[in-house]
Structure 1
């Protein structure tokens, strides 16, 4: 059995839990929008066409902010296509995802859905094929009260009150050669700088996210951030990060340790931000918006719905990257959430990509049911229970060997302390594929009273590490009670099964 000792000290904190850390992403890609959150005619659809079954799962999962409408999609998108009477909206080819965009769902529909879901809107502008004028017009349409061309058009289209969108992305992944409108760092940096200035002239209260590297493996990583921020540092509040991970060639041990890469990626971007800040003698602090992250088995886009496989040509909302997440994936997602929380002083926005169907924690079928994937549970519990201050942990854990990262901690952890609620929330993952882990929590400056919640996600009886929820068996993987947990001599002790993610909530008081 692996041993791990974790010390939590009330006075050693990283910072307050940023609520925008628990974000998600809705892109016009595959079936995320159409037959995902929106499906008129479905038995569970409301009068506006929103699927109530999906909406209830979204509320249960608890995202706080949702990025929209892309993603690669946004770099070829005309936002004007998605407003006004549906019968007047044009049908377009979407080059990013090789599909037909009907524009039946647009900005008004998303804002209305976001209100029902109780999430903040994070809107992206197209800086691939469009630029300054289109971006500032969109801000005027969305946020200006009335009396101008764009604000009065919004009112004519049914929204008397401004949408008051505060959070805006200045494009998407424009460092990538695959991106429509791909740019060099200097080309993008100048465009983002001027766009940001113009958008703020319309609404000075908005917050802006500059595009960072599409992933850590990009050949321009580091130099891209440095160049972009040299142009935009005074104009933006955030720079973005994107990262996707998958298991390669059955190397589950390395896959389970990929949060090590995420930690290093974040630390590298922080260093670049701070270097630009120092060199430019800036006073403001730019933080990180990790606005795309997840497990994604990148097998390409070779699905039966793709244009070259459909006799009639391109089609609306083809099935794209609808990964079925298993036990192993859920544990990895739990470690990514731990990494983000541990960096919550600088990563103050994060968006798991995406929300429904497309590499998503929620799945749905057209005309059929909606259900939770295994990755739903770590997100839902952390979003609900992480509050107050993020604790800076000292972890002394047994190791597991990996081919990619060498020896890594078997037990990965993050924790929060909420003085107002009187609760400690500890999020734990046992990466070991072979051994259970005995964990001791040593509390400093805190006195544990009782365990108020102890849940674990692990290999179910009769299953294996690849067990996943399906339409026919929607509850194969989920949370069960963590039985082996208790308080003894002021310390909390728990035993984690091999390959597991767990949450332990403790009623406690400062001592």
Structure 2
């Protein structure tokens, strides 16, 4: 057994936690929309055609904001195709995923779904094949009250009140050569600046995110952010980051060490953004939107990403997640919460079927993948202020980092309820971890509210439609509290959640 220590103090705060960090992503790709969230005729479908079982699981998962409609799909999308009477909508070729898009689900259906589930929408505008003019038209259709051609068009479609969509992404991954109409940093920076200017004229209250690098390993990383923000720094609020965890060495230890790469990605992006602020002598700080992140490394063959014959809603990148994938997701959530001063929104990609925490069968069941659980627990319990953790933990050497602490943890305290949530990952794969947690300044008479562990002896264990609860949280009985000290034992390779209360709001 290894021994670790975690200390936090109520006076040492990273930041208030922006609840938008628990976001998700719905793209017109594979079966995310069709037979995912939308399947008219399914036994659970409502009058809109939304799958009731998926809506119930989405509410349980707890996303706060959902990005739409893409993704790579976005860079060839015409928003006008997805509004108005469904029988009059055109069928198009989707060049991003070589599929046929029927457009039976579009802007207004997505807004109806968001209202039904209780999430905030995050929309994106096409800056691949299109530009500023179409972007401001889209915003006018969605958000202007009425009295203009586009706002009245929305009203004629049955939506008298404006949608009031506040968060908008300016394109998607336009640094990537795989992207439809990819751009140089100079080209994208200029179009992002002009698009942002027009959109703010239509609706001054929008929040705008510029495209950052598609991943930390892009050859233009750093230079891309610097050039883009040199153009649009004054017009945008966020820059995006995308990352997908892989396991190229087929080693659980190396895989879990990659969590720390996410932290480096954040630090490097902040450094570049703040250097632009320094050159501009600006007090403004650009915030980070991790609007695509997840584990993705198994379903990566060409057949996983493309199907012949322009099919409708084919099975694409339907990653089957195992226990170690859930641990990586839990670690990523810890990293983002520990960077709450700059990471203000994030979207797990995607919500259903396509690298999703929820899986479905057409006409059949829906179930939780392993990665569902750490996300749902973090979204449920993480409210308030993220406290700065001081961690004492032995570690191990990885190919990427010379020292990887076995303990990865964060602590979030809610002044309104007096509850403190501790999220901890034991990265030691063969030894239990005995931990002492000191909660300074949060009340001397802490009481236990909940304690659970996500653990399985087989790191490759998965959840299936026949065995949907193989990997799921179980109560952890080895947690004790004395005053403001919490002691616990964590199993090897486990994600752990401990919630305490001081009995009254602080």
- TM-score calculated relative to the size of structure 1: 0.97
Cα deviation 1:295-342 (Å, max 9, x = unaligned): 00165353389443xxxx211111011111111010110000000000
Native 8 Å contact 1:40 1:50 kept in 2: yes
- Cα deviation, residue 449, structure 1: 2.2
1:466 to 460, 470, 474: 460
Native 8 Å contact 1:175 1:183 kept in 2: yes
CA distance in 2, matches of 1:27, 1:485: 41
- Cα deviation, residue 438, structure 1: 0.7
Native 8 Å contact 1:5 1:440 kept in 2: yes
- Cα deviation, residue 176, structure 1: 0.3
CA distance in 2, matches of 1:448, 1:412: 25
Within the alignment, does 1:482 sit opposite 2:479 as a pair?
Answer: no
Native 8 Å contact 1:469 1:476 kept in 2: yes
Alignment of 1:18-33 (within 5 A): 18-33=18-33
Gaps of 5+ in 1: none
- Cα deviation, residue 168, structure 1: 0.3
Cα deviation 1:357-397 (Å, max 9, x = unaligned): 11111111100100111111111111111111100010001
Identify the range of structure 1 (486-495 vs 500-509) with the bigger mean alpha-carbon deviation.
486-495
Aligned to 2:210: 210
CA distance in 1, matches of 2:140, 2:493: 50
CA distance in 1, matches of 2:430, 2:347: 32
Aligned to 2:447: 450
- Cα deviation, residue 224, structure 1: 0.2
Partner SS for 2:93: strand
Cα deviation 1:433-492 (Å, max 9, x = unaligned): 111111110121122421110010000xxx511101001111111010011110136410
Alignment of 1:396-475 (within 5 A): 396-446=392-442, 447-459=444-456, 464-475=458-469
Aligned to 2:70: 70
CA distance in 1, matches of 2:68, 2:210: 15
Alignment of 1:191-270 (within 5 A): 191-270=191-270
Within the alignment, does 1:499 sit opposite 2:493 as a pair?
Answer: yes
Within the alignment, does 1:95 sit opposite 2:91 as a pair?
Answer: no
CA distance in 1, matches of 2:28, 2:254: 32
Identify the range of structure 1 (248-257 vs 188-197) with the bigger mean alpha-carbon deviation.
248-257
CA distance in 2, matches of 1:393, 1:80: 48
- Cα deviation, residue 499, structure 1: 0.5
Partner SS for 1:502: strand
- Cα deviation, residue 257, structure 1: 1.3
CA distance in 2, matches of 1:225, 1:340: 20
Gaps of 5+ in 2: none
Number of equivalences: 504
CA distance in 2, matches of 1:132, 1:109: 24
Native 8 Å contact 2:28 2:70 kept in 1: yes
CA distance in 1, matches of 2:219, 2:153: 44
- Distance of aligned partners of 1:305 and 1:412 in 2 relative to their CA distance in 1, 3 Å threshold: closer
Within the alignment, does 1:394 sit opposite 2:410 as a pair?
Answer: no
Partner SS for 2:403: strand
Native 8 Å contact 1:253 1:401 kept in 2: no
Cα deviation 1:1-40 (Å, max 9, x = unaligned): 1111000111101111101010000000110000000000
Aligned to 2:143: 143
Native 8 Å contact 1:301 1:320 kept in 2: no
- TM-score calculated relative to the size of structure 2: 0.98
Native 8 Å contact 1:448 1:491 kept in 2: no
- Distance of aligned partners of 1:306 and 1:286 in 2 relative to their CA distance in 1, 3 Å threshold: closer
4+ long deviations beyond 6 Å: none
CA distance in 2, matches of 1:227, 1:214: 15
